[in-house]
Amino acid sequence: MSTSPIDAALDDLADEFEMLGDWEERYRYVIELGRDLEPLSAAEHSEENKVRGCASQVWLVTEPQADGTVRFRGDSDAHIVSGLIAVVLRLYSGARASDIAAFDASAAMARLGLSEALSSQRSNGLKSMVARIQRDAAALAAA
């Protein structure tokens, strides 16, 4: 049985997090990942792209690709949240809509240790980002 690109990305992230050790190092790494996000244009910082349920400002852009995969891009006004977006994009961007819709994000976040490490406010924001991505993917899969 072949693993999906999402499972492979999760394995890579889990290995990276494990090498870092404590959560202080992991936070720094997550923030660094966020610095590498592709910038969104001013027009993409729109109400339409805004993710509801996040304490920080978060924008996500969903771009269906010709090969059936979905590309996601995102941005936030908070460093740690930008890093969380980068983690989520590593998991989902480039995957097929049906794989995204079927992926167990809660188990993935638990495996990465994010469930325990984040404040409840950040954890809820992360869930809102994932829910938005899965909703967009489900709509594309159904189309």
As a whole number of angstroms, the distance between CA 122 and CA 30 comes to 13
Side chain identity at residue 6, one-letter code:
I
Dihedral sign for Cα atoms in the order 88, 63, 135, 92? negative
pLDDT at 142: 83
Domains: count for the chain: 1
| Short-list 52, 49, 69, CA closest to 60 | 49
If 0-12 CB within 10 Å is exposed, 13-18 middle and 19+ buried, where does residue 54 land? buried
Q: Which domain holds residue 122?
A: 5-142
As a whole number of angstroms, the distance between CA 45 and CA 99 comes to 27
By annotation, the residues acting in catalysis are 54
pTM for the model: 0.92
- The mean-pLDDT minimum among 60-64, 113-117, 118-122 falls in 113-117
For the chain, give the percent of residues with pLDDT over 90.
74
CATH number of the domain residue 108 falls in: 3.90.1010.10
